[in-house]
Structure 1
Amino acid sequence: MKSSVAIIGDLDTVTGFQLGGVKVSKVVETNEDAENALDELINDEVSIIIITENIADNIRKYMEKKIGSNVLPMIIEIPDKSGPSDRESDPMGELIKRVIGVEMVK
């Protein structure tokens, strides 16, 4: 395992995480770049992949296909510099359900 944490995002977001100590990072500009970065990090057995919400929304089906119901890698979605996305689903709730097998209800 090369690293336990990695970030996929735009240049500003990735730079901020690099300053915070995240060593493995992928700056992406297209959906194809994001899919390739995700594949590379999965192959490198990264445990936690942080990805911006906008990028995750654009490759959602691809991420679900690659990760399925596996616990690792854990995908954590964060807002980018434009702020949080308006969404119908709660990615953190889905993450909790995938990891512990129980849906958290409000």
Structure 2
Amino acid sequence: MSSQVAVMADSDTVTGFKLGGVKEGYPIKDMEEAEKTLKELVKKDFSIIIITEKIADGIRETIDKFTKASTLPMIIEIPDKTGSIKRESDPMRELIKRVIGVEMVK
């Protein structure tokens, strides 16, 4: 597994990450493209895939399939330019719990 980072998001978010030094950025227009791109990134052995919450919610089943099968790649969900989505469970909290085995308390 390489130590590469990729970002899947709207074009503005991808541009921001590229300005910050992330070389692999994939602007996503629809959920079909998002699912295809995620599968390709997993095959390319990226170790971290950053994805916006809205896109992640649209392809939740595919993300769950990959995250339950292996700890890598880490799929990290971030808010997009419109802000965070209110949820019952926090994907980042679940990721930390799965990776290190400890639940973080607020």
**TM-score greater than 0.5 by the shorter chain:** yes
Alpha-carbon offset, residue 104 of structure 1: 2.3
2:25 matches 1:25: yes
SS in 2 for 1:55: helix
Q: Specify the alignment match of 2:83 in structure 1.
A: 83
Does structure 2 conserve the Cα–Cα contact (< 8 Å) formed by 1:3 and 1:47?
A: yes
Query: Structure 2 stretches of 5 or more lacking a match?
Result: none
Query: Structure 1 stretches of 5 or more lacking a match?
Result: none
2:16 matches 1:16: yes
Aligned partners of 2:103 and 2:59: how far apart in 1?
A: 23
Alpha-carbon offset, residue 69 of structure 1: 4.5
Query: When the two structures are aligned, how many residues end up with a matched partner?
Result: 106
Alpha-carbon offset, residue 3 of structure 1: 5.5
Q: Specify the alignment match of 1:38 in structure 2.
A: 38
Q: Specify the alignment match of 1:101 in structure 2.
A: 101
- Pair 15,27 (structure 1): closer, same or farther in 2 beyond 3 Å: same
Taking only aligned residues, the RMSD between alpha carbons, in angstroms, comes to 1.4
- Pair 92,2 (structure 1): closer, same or farther in 2 beyond 3 Å: closer
**Structure 1 length-normalised TM:** 0.92
Residues 34-91 of structure 1: CA distance to partner in whole angstroms, max 9, x if unpaired?
A: 1111111100100011000110111111110133152110111111111111111111
Aligned partners of 1:45 and 1:79: how far apart in 2?
A: 24
Query: Which amino acid in structure 1 is aligned with residue 14 of structure 2?
Result: V
**Structure 2 length-normalised TM:** 0.92
